[in-house]
Amino acid sequence: MLRRALLTIAALNAAASFAAAGQMPALNMMQMNGGPQMTWRGLAQGPDLAEGYYNGGGAMSESFRMPMYSNVPIRYCKVAIPLYYPNGASLTDTMFAGNQAILSYQFGVEYPFSSALSGLAKRIPVTFSGANSWTYRSAGWSGGWYKLSDTFDFGQWLPAKTKFGVWSTVEIPTNIGTGALPTVGNNGSNCLQRYIGAATNTTSQIKALGGASDFALTSTSIPAATSDIAGQAVYVPMLLCEEPIDAKLAVTIGDSIAAGVGEGGANGGQTCAATNGDSYGDALGNGGIVQRGVYEDTNGNGVNLGLASDGAKNLHTASNWLGRQALLALANPTTVFQIDVHNDVIPAPSVGSWVKNTAYAPFTVKYNNGAIYIATTGGTTKNQTGAGPTGAGAGIVDGTVVWNYLAPYLGDGTDSVGSLVGWEAQTNAIIKSIAPNAAILAMTATPYSTSTDSWKTVANQTAGFGAGSSTSVARWNAFVTSRNPALLISGYIDPDAALETSYPATQSGVWVVAPGQNVVDYATQNDGVHPNSVGYGLVQAAGVINQSTIH
């Protein structure tokens, strides 16, 4: 494997040398010599890209330095700037406006990366139509959900896992008060030394806008961000890099657990033990189930579009997440993890009864004759009393509607999981329309419990959704683990063996307790929902995501 990787890098370097000499384009040269065909794929190692957390402490300018690496060789990349934030109860992607009506950006790339915070070399500038900064203006903007930079060149092909730094400055025109600057979703406890830097300013740090210098490009030092960053959170864009066409990329869509919320959360008062992690995840900066697994246990890359409080309840409506869909398409994934359930089990509506001579859209879920069915083809039902789908088959024709059997109708609260399956199917159909060749993977529901002793013991926990095989969560997990065709998934991941007591013999809903420490974040108002860094580490150690998981 190592020899093959080195040969690939050598082939890429040789092709790039020919291109630099003006003999022929690098891509054509590599293809003529049997080298890898290339494509563009997303890269965002470390942070999630859930933009919209307007921090800043009243600053007009914030600059950040974030280390990254790629699991595949890269040389030519672009920066993709998301221009939206999730708005309202449905977390609808909304173009920046108001206090964010004018936003200026500057990016630089540091290679090689220096494990220091001073004595730093100048960065490779990222340009936009040749300029080293770019300003978004909402008035008259018609360029879409993101802005793409010019291609920049690292100067050589970086071997897999080579660390580099992404520097960014984001500014508003004037100091208009607290909460005006967009950032991504990682903040809080950041105690592991990764040489992350953060600098807040009340004046511009972009020379073209009147700043004394271009901080992101020329500053030789940056303050450490190795403790709580008061009023700040890191801003990091998505990269788009040219890679071998068979390189793997996993994009994560979904809720707070998909986003890695809980990393660095309370664990017996020890939020920053080096063996556990902090709010950016483990020592390499990978947070959450997917990013830890993909970047450390596979040869692929990842982009995290997970968002706290989101779920299929929102995602099944395409208009709610058009910005994320645009980034998903741009990222060009080979695998999509669609992870949500905790935010969907309670709001999922009860399953209604079948009605004659009624128009139903695809993925509508109804019950009839003691069973739950999902419409695979929309249309109008038969105009006949007592008709409707029956039996446990697939392709049941009912007027112009076609139904598939989904599950028995029990007449209790767990039947609403059928509606959740409909939401998930709609969401996955949207994903499939954007990334038709990507595998879509679901995840079983992780534990959820309350505790009288901060999750220090198993005995003092009570399952939040109840325990046993008759619960809504258990029914959902059965749909996932059976790869029910209605879900439109290629497979699933199951972290519960690492996190849930007595699983899989019984679905207790109760968190395991690791020796001397718990595995669940109990510092937030969502007590008992999210793993902490210990819990996420247990899932990774169990090999839930490995080379065979992503496609």
pLDDT at residue number 16: 52
Q: For residue 225, how many other CB atoms are within 10 A of its CB?
A: 23
- Tens of pLDDT, residue by residue over 474-489, are 999 999 999 999 999 9
pLDDT at residue number 24: 42
The answer to whether 375 and 364 are in contact (CB under 8 A) is yes
For 302, the token pair is: 């990842």
H helical segments located in 157-315: 215-218, 256-259, 288-297, 312-315
pLDDT at residue number 7: 46
pLDDT at residue number 32: 41
CATH number of 248-348+414-551: 3.40.50.1110
* Distance between CA atoms of residues 153 and 391, nearest Å: 60
Closest CA to 276 of 543, 546, 515: 515
Q: Cis (ω within 30 of 0) for the bond into 447?
A: no
Whose structure tokens read 């900066």? 285
pLDDT at residue number 264: 80
Q: Identify residue 87 by its one-letter amino acid code.
A: N
* Distance between CA atoms of residues 31 and 27, nearest Å: 6
Instruction: Return the domain boundaries, the chain.
Output: 2-36, 42-245, 248-348+414-551, 352-408
pLDDT at residue number 10: 56
**pLDDT tens per residue across all 551 residues of the chain:** 333 444 455 566 555 555 545 544 444 434 445 566 899 999 999 777 766 656 555 678 989 999 999 999 999 999 999 999 999 999 999 999 988 899 999 999 999 999 999 999 999 999 999 999 999 999 999 999 999 999 999 999 999 999 999 999 999 988 776 667 887 765 556 778 899 998 888 899 999 999 999 999 999 999 887 654 444 567 889 999 999 999 999 999 999 999 998 888 776 555 565 567 888 888 899 999 999 999 999 999 999 999 989 999 999 999 999 999 999 999 999 999 999 988 998 889 999 999 999 999 999 999 999 999 999 999 999 999 989 999 999 999 999 999 999 999 999 989 999 999 999 999 999 999 999 999 999 999 999 999 998 888 999 999 988 777 778 999 999 999 999 999 999 999 999 999 999 999 989 999 999 877 888 887 654 578 899 888 999 999 999 999 999 99
- Tens of pLDDT, residue by residue over 55-95, are 555 678 989 999 999 999 999 999 999 999 999 999 999 99
Pairing of strands 352-353, 92-95: unpaired
Annotate 532-551 with b (16+ C-beta within 10 A) or e (fewer).
bbbbbbbbbebebbeeebbb
pLDDT at residue number 487: 97
Whose structure tokens read 């109860």? 89
**DSSP strands (E only) in 226-351:** 238-244, 249-254, 301-304, 335-339
Could you write out the DSSP letters of every residue in 335-346? Answer: EEEEE--TTTTT
Whose structure tokens read 């080298």? 35
pLDDT at residue number 456: 87
